[in-house]
Amino acid sequence: MGFSASPPARCRLGAALALLVLAGCASVERPAIEPLPGISVIQRPSPNFDERRPNYVVLHHTSNASAEASLRTLTDPARRVSSHYLVARNGNMYALVDNNARAWHAGESYWAGLTDLNSASIGIELDNDGSEPYSEVQIAALLDLLAALKTRFAIPRANFIGHGDIAPGRKVDPSAHFPWRLLASQGFGIWCDPPYDAVPPSIDDALLLQALGYNVWNFDAAVSAFKRHFSPEDPSPAMTGKDRSLAYCLIMEKRALAAQGS
């Protein structure tokens, strides 16, 4: 889901320096992971990363049956995929890539004009097969982690999004079971409840979704992604009048937060 840098050049120094060179190469591949205050994690460093600065958090589900199976994938150099954190079903949190490094979790992506979310985001995998509810202990641990990340990096409230939002038609995680409304109530993401204001008739459906952040090149996929996130109780494939009003409300909320600098 990303491109790796060339592996370290073969160390051809004298025998006296060999161990030092190898230690240096190893430290580049698996750096220490910066701890977050008040967050207890089990470190499982992954070598799959580049350097960057985070301004978004992208949430995923693993689609696996266990955290250990996911960890094997996320730390396997041959798989070329990783995330910064994995939150297990039992609430255990694993740190895989340092927050200041570029993990390979988003793949081909787009959000609000950005086409390389790996370079701008922290990726969090949730131990979930995509068809099951999320456990209370897992969500509680996630909320603690999000609070620490938001404080550490001053991540804007609207910039907590899902993999399905940035890759509509290709990804669906973290599934319709994910409690986006709960997260928004805690300051992670945006949400609107009715009643909604009327939408200006000159604004069509594609413009609404694009203004919110979605890539509307595949319009039907963008609609599905929007409804999975903000209206999961409605399985219909088309934008309804309610969906239009909801999208317009979310846009206004996003703009208000940006104006406040939060």
Annotated catalytic residue 253: no
CA distances 35 to 87, 99, 100, 107, 148, Å, are: 15, 9, 11, 26, 10
Q: 218: number of CA atoms within 13 Å, CB side?
A: 14
Catalytic residue among 34, 125, 136, 233: 125
Beta strands in 18-133 (DSSP E): 42-43, 49-51, 56-61, 85-87, 93-95, 101-103, 121-126
SS3 content of the chain, % helix, strand, coil (to 5): 35, 10, 50
Q: Which residues are catalytic?
A: 125
